[in-house]
Structures are given as C-alpha cells and as structure tokens.
Structure 1
C-alpha cells in the first residue's frame, strides 16, 4: 500500500511539473520538424528562438539529406561555406508583424541561397507556415513545419 506522504509528494510533483512541460502555442518559440515541400518527408529539426523582439531559427538535427547524415553547406557563401548544417542559424532578423513574423531572411542549406521570409502559426499553434521568397512574397514557396511535442 502507498504511504500518504508518497501520494502527497506525487500529487505535488504532477501539479507543479506539468506546467513546465506545457508549450506556449501562441509563440513560434520551440522545436519544429521541417517538412520538405516537394517530397512531404521530414528533413530536420529547427529550434526557433524569440529574444529581443527578434526571431531566429537554428538547425539542431538533420533527419534526412541527400548528402548523408551530417551535411555541410557546400553552396553557401561567406562564413557558412562548408560549415555543418547542424548548429547553423538558417533564419534571422525576423520581426513581429501582426499575427506573424517577417522582414528577415531564411537560408536554404541545400542550394546555399537566401530568401526573404514570412512566418506565421496555423492550426492553433501546432504548425508553422514558413514562406521564402525573392522580392515579393507572391513569388515564393511555402513549407508547413510541425511543432515537436515537449519532452520531460
């Protein structure tokens, strides 16, 4: 039989521990599984961070690549040239605008090209629509990323 102290400790742990696992679905901050818009397959895990009114995104894990499990950005310019994609910041300078984020840049590590970027939450914060474009956003393409569940 369980002792009353254990039951109280367990109840307190659940009561105070559960909110720590809860995610703020009104913010894009957190980990996202990127989905290739051409194949529909998961490609990577990107960590989105919001700090100082700016949003950035960094690849934390490559799930699939034509260049193997730990690709480098062969076609990138400058400081990103031939650097590992894992750990690379691929979204930067995004600013809050209405119900989304815009004004920043996104890098396609496969092509080494950068694009203007718009981001907004959809489906109650469970998915993220990421649009990359040159010039105006009508001339671009979108991907839908899926929020990773919080883990204890």
Structure 2
C-alpha cells in the first residue's frame, strides 16, 4: 500500500506542468503573420525581476523589401532608435503551472505602435505564439515564433 502511494505521488510530480515547465529564454525567428515570411531574429532573456524581455538581434532580409533602419513613428523612448538592437518585448511574466506568459508590452517598430502582449509556448518548447492587442485580447493579432537554439 505504501509503495503504491509513493508511486502515485512520484507520478503526480513527474507529470505536473511545473517539472517540465520551459521558459521562453533563447533565440527566436519571428514569422510575419500576414506573409508567412521570416522577419527578424529576437533574443529573449529572463531578467533579475523574473520578467522576460526580447531584443531584435537580426533583421531578416526578404526579397523586394528594404528594411527600415530606425523606428521613425514610434513613441518615446523608441523615437528614432535603430530597429536592430531594439528591445521590442518587455515585462512578460510567467503564469505558474502553465506555458503562458502575460502582462507584457510589445512594440511594432514598423507601425510605431505599442501593444499589450501575451505568449503561449507550445508543449515541445519549439514554437511560441505571441498575441499582441490593445485592451481586449480577442481584437489582437498573433504571430508564431520558432526557436532557433
């Protein structure tokens, strides 16, 4: 009886989301939700305050597209900043026991708009879905990012 109880407890810990919870730290390929083309490579880091930030480390060249170099229409503190090296994702917090991250902010340096953001990491940890929205999540847009490392 005691052996069965131990096995049940071990199985509960083994299959709980917390044991295998992955974080989103790493290098990600951003995929354009309209065209399906690769847009940029983003490096996501976990900060000392347990939030996550993401910085553009490479703009992916695309045929027929000349990348913009600065964030011309962006609000302060992003105004006229170079897009390469820009911190576009801030403040994401992990939701305990899930593969979800919420309460972040993301800037679209091409449109110059700042959005609320949340992320859902898939079960394998190889893809994430970033949802950017203003006010209500259902009125936003989603992008898929693919893990490179």
- What TM bracket, shorter-length normalisation? 0.7 to 0.9
Instruction: State the alpha-carbon separation in 2 of the partners of residues 121 and 136 from structure 1.
Output: 20
Matched, 1:54 2:41: no
Give the match for residue 74 of structure 1: 72
Which structure 1 segments of 5+ residues have no match? 1-23
Q: Give the deviation of 1:35 after TM superposition.
A: 0.2
Q: Give the deviation of 1:68 after TM superposition.
A: 2.8
* Corresponding residue pairs, total: 126
Residues 142, 30 of structure 1: CA spacing in aligned structure 2 closer, same or farther, 3 A cutoff? Answer: same
Residues 67, 113 of structure 1: CA spacing in aligned structure 2 closer, same or farther, 3 A cutoff? Answer: farther
Cα pair 1:121 1:129 within 8 Å, conserved: yes
Give the TM-score normalised by structure 1. 0.76
Give the TM-score normalised by structure 2. 0.78
Give the match for residue 40 of structure 1: 36
Q: Give the deviation of 1:37 after TM superposition.
A: 0.2
Cα deviation 1:97-117 (Å, max 9, x = unaligned): 142111110000110101110
Deviation >2 Å, runs of 4+: 64-70
Q: Secondary structure at the match of 2:94?
A: strand
Q: Secondary structure at the match of 1:138?
A: helix
Which structure 2 segments of 5+ residues have no match? 1-19
